[in-house]
Amino acid sequence: MNSRYTQKLTWLLLILLLCACRGNETEMQPEVLKLAVIAPFSGTFESLGRSTRDGVVLALEEWNRGGGILGRRVEVVLLDSVRNDAGRENVVDYISGRDAARKALDEEGVQFIIGGIFAEASEGIAQVVMEQGAFQISPATVDPDLTLDNEGRTRSRVFLTGFTDIAQGTAMAKFALENLNAEKVALIIAEENTYSTMLANAFETAFTGDGGEVVARGSYDPAGDTFFDMLDEVRDAAPDVIYLPGYYTVANRMVDQARSFGINAIFLGSDGWDDANLDLDAVQGSYFVTHYFSEDPRFEVQLWIRKFQNRYIVPPDTLATIGYDATYILLSAIQQSGSLDPAAVADTLETMDFTLISGSLRYDEYHHPLKSIPILKVQGGQVVYVTAVEPSQP
């Protein structure tokens, strides 16, 4: 045989063998399951998206080390829910959420979305998800209407992670009655503020439903500097507790002025008080609700903090924590359903119970989480963990 011919044949066989090996390597690579995280990854609210991303990524790394999901490696696609349009910058709204969801489904081939952070963007995501048969779990949105369509029916493939405003108002009322033995409450509500009003209404329903009495109802302008006229009525009503659902900026001024006005009733606050800028001297002795507290003595919480700091150096904040929890919920439901069909995953999730970093959780018929709600107290110049109020039976 011609030596040149033999050499060509040898090279041909080597090339064929190399191609075959590469083909086998491709076949051996595990398939990929892609999840999308839709959050603000630019602009004013970039830090919120970064925290959420860090929690999600840590959860995915843990699942992948354990073999992934249904034999697939899990990867994440990050999509920004911020848009700049017509001279407006850093806009996070229905349109930005809708557009990000369409990109996730149409361009990235994603069927499972973790997001958004703000209610309007989350609504844009939810509508696309329901139109195209995908799945959404929002880590941070607490608006109970997100999981409902325009006719009040439950959106079958949309779930929340954080407790709703109704749930936290109810929990604080339960705490006031059972832990503080309160019988009379004054409600102080921000004018034309849906958040404050929804919380106050939920508190009142639960408090009066179990025998408590609302003895005063005051309103205030959040931009105001003084509240003495309204506080005068509250003082005359002599409540045991005062429920002030709102933000720390108002709590700092309101409680301080109430004390100087001779009001000694215990103030109760909402998750809007949970901020590093809460004036601990001014609100001394008050209680408020949070989604996550690093001093929670539960083993899950302390282990989580160590894991997060080992990965990112800094301690986790609330968004990182509930981002991790949302991912764990979703992946657990996929694993238990044994399917990548969003409808099957949603059906399975409706039946599951979880022990999460942010508390125990199960879902009601509206896909709202029934979960334990931490109560904190400002005491001795610091914030301390008091207890967790367990959800009412559905």
Which tens digit of pLDDT belongs to each residue from 33-88? 999 999 999 988 898 899 999 999 999 999 999 999 999 999 999 999 988 776 67
Domain positions in the chain:
32-163+298-363, 166-290+375-389
Residues 6 or more apart whose Cβ sits within 8 Å of residue 303: none
Which tens digit of pLDDT belongs to each residue from 271-308? 989 888 899 999 999 999 999 988 888 899 999 999 99
What are residue 266's DSSP bridge partners? 241
Q: Are 211 and 250 in contact (CB under 8 A)?
A: no
Give burial (CB, 10 Å; 0-12/13-18/19+) of 35. Answer: buried
Give the confidence band of 222 by pLDDT, cuts at 50, 70, 90.
Answer: confident
Residue 58 phi/psi, 5° resolution?
-65, -40
pLDDT of residue 2: 52
Q: What is the spatial distance between Cα 38 and Cα 205, in angstroms, rounded to a whole number?
A: 35
Give me the CATH code for the 166-290+375-389 domain, please. 3.40.50.2300
pLDDT of residue 10: 52
| Helix (H), strand (E) at residue 65 | helix 46-65
Residue 233 phi/psi, 5° resolution?
-65, -40
Identical fold at 32-163+298-363 and 166-290+375-389?
Answer: yes
Strand order, beta sheet including 241-244? 213-220, 184-190, 241-244, 266-269, 287-289, 373-379, 382-389
Residue 246's SS3 state is coil
State the fold for domain 32-163+298-363. Answer: Rossmann fold (3.40.50)
Residues 6 or more apart whose Cβ sits within 8 Å of residue 80: 38, 39, 40, 41, 42, 49, 96, 100
Residue 394's SS3 state is coil
Q: Are 139 and 116 in contact (CB under 8 A)?
A: no
Which tens digit of pLDDT belongs to each residue from 97-156? 999 999 999 999 999 999 998 888 999 999 999 999 999 999 988 889 999 999 999 999
Residue written as token pair 């009003």:
197
Q: What is the spatial distance between Cα 250 and Cα 256, in angstroms, rounded to a whole number?
A: 10
Q: What is the spatial distance between Cα 268 and Cα 170, in angstroms, rounded to a whole number?
A: 12
Q: Percentage of the chain with pLDDT > 90?
A: 74
